[in-house]
Amino acid sequence: MKYVLMNQEMQEVDQETIHQIGIPGLVLMERASEAVADCARRRTGRSGKILVIAGIGNNGGDALAAARILLEEDYQTDYMIVGKTEKASEDLKTQLQILKRLGYEPVKEPDLTDYDLLIEGIFGVGLSREVGGIYRDMIETINASGRVVIAIDIPSGISGNTGKVMGCAVKAAETVTFGGYKRGHLLYPGREYCGKVTLAGIGFHKQTIEKHASGFTLEDPAGLMPPRSSYSNKGTYGKILMITGSETMSGAAAFAGEAALRMGAGLVKILSHSSNRPILQSRLPEILFGERSDLKESLEWCSCILFGPGTGVNEETKEMLEYILNHGTKPLILDADGLNTVSRYHMEIHYPYGVVMTPHLMEGARLLGRDISEVKDDICGAACEIAEKYHAAAVLKDAATVVAQSQEKLYINQSGNHGMAAGGSGDVLAGMITGLVGTGCRPYDAAVRGVYLHGLAGDAARDEKGAYSMIASDILHHIQDVTGGKHESVLPGACSH
């Protein structure tokens, strides 16, 4: 697990480290600059020419200190400053004075194509307005140069909070950041501008980062699956009830049902239209099948419920969902037409047994009564709104899916790829999350783990089939690649039996 911070949270970490813990700011800057210099060493040999482009804030101070380190090691390095130095931060002025005392003067109006590597530290995460003037000109010149770029902390022009491009932004091959990830590293389009993101430890204490960070991300599948016992039976691993599919839609039920079984669920019962019985039991002989009239009895039998994939949006669907909300006593996962039913009929949800909602952006916009462009502008804020409004764990699906729930840290996913943008992928995810709930995970933690593992299975499918040719069934087939191995929990208290 790695922590993810907003700009203000990173400033709080910085201030606490300097003023309460007592590590001087220039010490942190020196360590950050060494991490940047190390990245430059990996990117170019001593024969390569390096240009360091510094703004007038502390991000520029990091850049100038990196230039000094490289110069002292005899790397062919020049540096320049963008902006008026009389308005510069004190730390940048200090770094500039050191360089000049050592005999290293800045260059003016260099031809960027004369260099093999550019290191840019113009703004960092502190940018709060659109880029213009000389800064826009410099960023456009950097991008037009075609040279390899290392960005310090975040590519200049990218919002650290949202990943949005603030007018224009540097396109980096690698970004070196410090302490924790910023949201802009993980959210699109910023994620594409960052290139490879290298997280460097420069002296911020882990407990300080954890205290201030509002988010996290996962980078390792080890320990995510609930433990299993040799002394167990099919009932030990959950009795999952799925209300899925309609007269003309059996695929969603099949995808979700198989995904839950592949995640280790002991029993899966699908309630669907009678016409789907031969299709589903032929494809998945492991499932139990029932019709919608079996709902009352099935609610008493199950240990968790998935409602919505392929059900259609109509009065019957609404009545079934209302019955579950009024009479159910087990965790509920709402997906697809379950979500559309909530938004169409303006249903309120106060379900005390745990709810996971899995909207894509359009479904999320409907749930909030907002335009989809507003949701895209702030996917983290939208996920938190859905979670608060419906008292649920909200899985807002996008290229970088976000999972939010009140009183929990926000999760931003990094796994997955554009080959997963295909019909059925969401049904597989819903089934994976439901399978994890059924086998013992809290709903929020099942949502986080399911999203991450779903993306990893998609990455494995892409590696085998290619992004153009992979389909949802390929994701199903690769669940086995991401669910094996160690069973130690990395999220304390997340799973139990």
Binding site annotation covers 223? no
Q: Tokens 């101070």 correspond to what residue? A: 61
Binding site annotation covers 193? no
DSSP calls for 90-155:
HHHHHHHHHHHHTT-PPPSS--GGG-SEEEEESSGGG--S---HHHHHHHHHHHHHT-EEEEESS-
Binding site annotation covers 156? yes
Binding site annotation covers 58? yes
Yes or no: say if 356 and 443 are a contact pair by the CB < 8 Å rule. Answer: yes
Binding site annotation covers 219? no
CA 478 vs CA 107, 154, 464: distances in Å: 54, 34, 10
Binding site annotation covers 61? yes
Binding site annotation covers 317? no
Binding site annotation covers 126? yes
Residue 165, C-beta contacts closer than 8 angstroms, at least 6 positions apart = 157, 158, 159, 189, 190, 193
Binding site annotation covers 400? yes
Binding site annotation covers 121? no
The pair of three-digit structure tokens given for residue 145, joined into one six-digit string = 């140069």
| C-alpha radius of gyration, the chain, whole number | 26
Binding site annotation covers 399? yes
Binding site annotation covers 427? yes
Binding site annotation covers 476? no
Binding site annotation covers 392? no
Binding site annotation covers 397? yes
Residue 244, C-beta contacts closer than 8 angstroms, at least 6 positions apart = 252, 253, 256, 257, 270, 271, 272, 306, 307, 308, 309, 310, 311, 427
Binding site annotation covers 62? yes
Binding site annotation covers 319? no
Query: How far apart (Å, rounded) are the C-alpha atoms in residues 474 and 460?
Result: 9
Binding site annotation covers 358? no
Binding site annotation covers 38? no
Binding site annotation covers 153? yes
Query: Which stretches of 218-307 are assigned E, i.e. beta strand?
Result: 239-243, 267-271, 288-290, 304-307
Pairing of β 393-396 and β 402-404: antiparallel
Pairing of β 355-357 and β 239-243: unpaired
Binding site annotation covers 310? yes
Binding site annotation covers 173? no
Binding site annotation covers 426? yes
- Residue ranges for the known binding site for K(+) are 59, 156
- Residue ranges for the known binding site are 58-62, 124-130, 135, 153, 156, 252, 310, 360, 397-401, 426-427
- Residue ranges for the known binding site for AMP are 397-401, 426
- Residue ranges for the known binding site for (6S)-NADPHX are 58-62, 124-130, 135, 153, 252, 310, 360, 427
